[in-house]
Amino acid sequence: MPQVPLDDDLRSAIGLVAGRVRRYGEAIAQGHAFGIEAGEHTELHTLAYQRAATPIYAETLPWSYLSELAAKFNEAAAQMAMAEVPDEVAEPWETVRSYLRSATTALTEAAPGPPKTATPEDIATIAPTTPPVMRFGHLARIVHPDGARQLIEAARAVEQACGEDDECPLSEQEKSWMARIINGDRTLDIAEDDGYSERSLYRALSDLWERLGVDNRLEAIALVTDNGWLD
């Protein structure tokens, strides 16, 4: 996929933001993999979805953090709107931009204080992942699996167009599982430590093996080790 013609630093920052959006979608998809009953939202880049999700964000994250994030999202969306993107990436680019704009609008509407502002340089200071205290299980209950999948695919395409694609297909949680599996930890212990039932974790690992194209944990360990995905 051709890269978007932007200043190197700005292109890298947009890729960072897209990576965060992708991991957000993956965390929701993980909730579905654990058997959480899915919701109806299929377009996570819309204002309707973000208005439904904002109260869930605010359950665990302070408004000081959310307001600063909204400002950075807003600036990232503004920079994306000015870019002349190749046709191959135009649709996913617009999906991610709309996600950022909708999140900004919903957060600004609900925030108890005045909106904050950010600069292009501030975009690069966005953390690559959403804080783990986020209640992704609650988000999974309002999101349809197709919605999570479409957001993941769009964000990954933007990462690739920005030259920031993370080739490792594992989420941070999946990396943790694989590290412990390689270490010889029992599935039951991993499940209990992460707050899941053993059956739920077995199901999630089975889904992971299928996604990686392997048949069992020994093949998964070999694949992860050979590719250096835990380095």
Q: Cα separation of 177 and 208, whole Å?
A: 11
> What are the tens digits of pLDDT across the range 142-162?
999 999 999 999 999 999 888
- Yes or no: say if 147 and 42 are a contact pair by the CB < 8 Å rule: yes
- Does residue 2 have a pLDDT over 70? no
pLDDT of 82 higher than 80: yes
Q: To the nearest whole number, what is the mean pLDDT of the chain?
A: 89
Helix runs in 111-144, H state only: 120-123, 136-140
Q: What is the DSSP letter of 2?
A: P
**Most confident of the following: 83-92, 168-177, 193-202:** 83-92
Q: Which CATH number fits domain 172-227: 1.20.58, 1.20.120, 3.90.1200, 1.10.10?
A: 1.10.10
Q: What is the pLDDT of residues 30-56, one digit of tens each?
A: 888 878 899 999 999 999 999 999 999
Domain range list for the chain:
8-161, 172-227
Q: How far is CA 3 from CA 12, 59, 98, 169, 189, in A?
A: 11, 38, 20, 21, 44
Mean pLDDT along residues 100-113: 97
